[in-house]
Amino acid sequence: MRSTGKLHLGNYVGALQNWVRMQDEYECFYFIADWHALTTDYADTSKVKQNSIDVLLDWLAAGLDPKRCTMFIQSHVPQHAELHLLFSMITPLGWLERVPTYKEQRENIAEKDLSTYGFLGYPVLQAADILIYKGDFVPVGEDQVAHVELTREIARRFNGFYPATGRGLKQSFTWTGDVFPEPQALLTPTPKLPGTDGRKMSKSYGNTIMLTDPEPVVRQKLKTMVTDPARVRRTDPGNPDVCPVGDLHKIFSSKETMAKVNQGCRAAGIGCIECKGWAADALVQVLLPMQERRKKYEDNPRLAWDILEAGSAAASQVADATMKDVRASMGMSLEYEPPRPPETAK
Ligand code: SF4
């Protein structure tokens, strides 16, 4: 996750909630991508570090547990950069120019100069981020599938050039002759989570409900939330399936509340204010325990930093082992090797 600062409900529903579940099913590495943040925000780096810490606090608040997963900041494990450099040597330019988000983002973020090497190479850095842990799966949304596919192509190309069994290697590898596995995208169905204006929840639209919003703020934001436009008057029937508040209910409310919403909205038996109040109740129930967990780390930020340091050390160990395999397969190990005897002519 990029170091964007405090997270909102969209980040929670779209990724974080799933990550919390996955900690018990997989050996998970979660990192805050501060170098990725630089690909678009390179001109002002003054907030990057604090933004990273804010992301970490929200992760801990949401239930990521350092005993069940590894959490760290990307730049604290510089092996990512070394692998990125090596991958950049073998990745054809055309592959990067074809990545759909490259064109799309350059057009959408017109206020920044994105004609940089770092921005174009963003997916190569992502490939290094994934492959340095020899990841089997990457939990992503639809929009990131193309990046995982590119990662697979880079892994394939690397394995083709530098087979693990080549060049008199002594090590044996878990993957038959390949340094890298080809990771799979683990597509997670993410429910539609609209912002207060009905568009996708996003900081750039100013329509977010933050995980740190106190109860009165949540209630106030809900009050201003758009509803089914068919309900102009209290007596007009509505449809929760086309109402952003209805979408919130579907994610956060109990079956009983959902039944009341469905029935009351369609029969004009309830008002939108009442309905929004129930949605706010459900949201507050989810957010309050998170905010209590967050407070422990806000009061003692050193605790959170210690988690990061331990996570970086654990991630570094795995990354070091991979880099040894990588260098060896390329015939560039850091170890002394005695000169080879000259080849004798037959
Ligand atoms: S009653 Fe609820 S679901 Fe129906 S339009 Fe109003 S806010 Fe939306």
3-class secondary structure, 138: strand
Token readout for 307 is: 């988690």
Contact 116, 161 (CB under 8 A): no
Residues 6+ apart with CB under 8 A from 253: 261, 278, 279, 282
3-class secondary structure, 184: strand
Mean confidence (pLDDT) of the chain? 91
Cα–ligand 1 centroid distance for 261 (angstroms):
7
Longest CA span, the chain: 98
Instruction: Kindly state if the Cβ of 246 falls inside 6 Å of ligand 1.
Output: yes
Token readout for 132 is: 């340095």
- Which residue matches tokens 């109740």? 281
Which helix (H) or strand (E) segment holds residue 41: the answer is helix 34-41
**Amino acid identity at 131:** L
Cα–ligand 1 centroid distance for 281 (angstroms):
15
Q: What is the C-alpha to C-alpha distance for residues 237 and 68, in angstroms, rounded to an integer?
A: 48
- What Rg do the C-alpha atoms of the chain give, in angstroms? 24
Q: Tens of pLDDT along 230-259?
A: 999 999 999 999 999 999 999 999 999 999
Ligand 1 atom nearest the C-alpha of 228 is: 5
Q: pLDDT grade, residue 114 (50/70/90)?
A: confident
Report which of 147, 150, 152 is spatially closest to residue 136, judged by C-alpha positions: 152
Ligand 1 atom nearest the C-alpha of 266 is: 4
Q: pLDDT grade, residue 108 (50/70/90)?
A: confident
Q: Tens of pLDDT along 28-85?
A: 999 999 999 998 889 899 999 999 999 999 999 999 999 999 999 999 999 999 999 9
**Amino acid identity at 201:** M
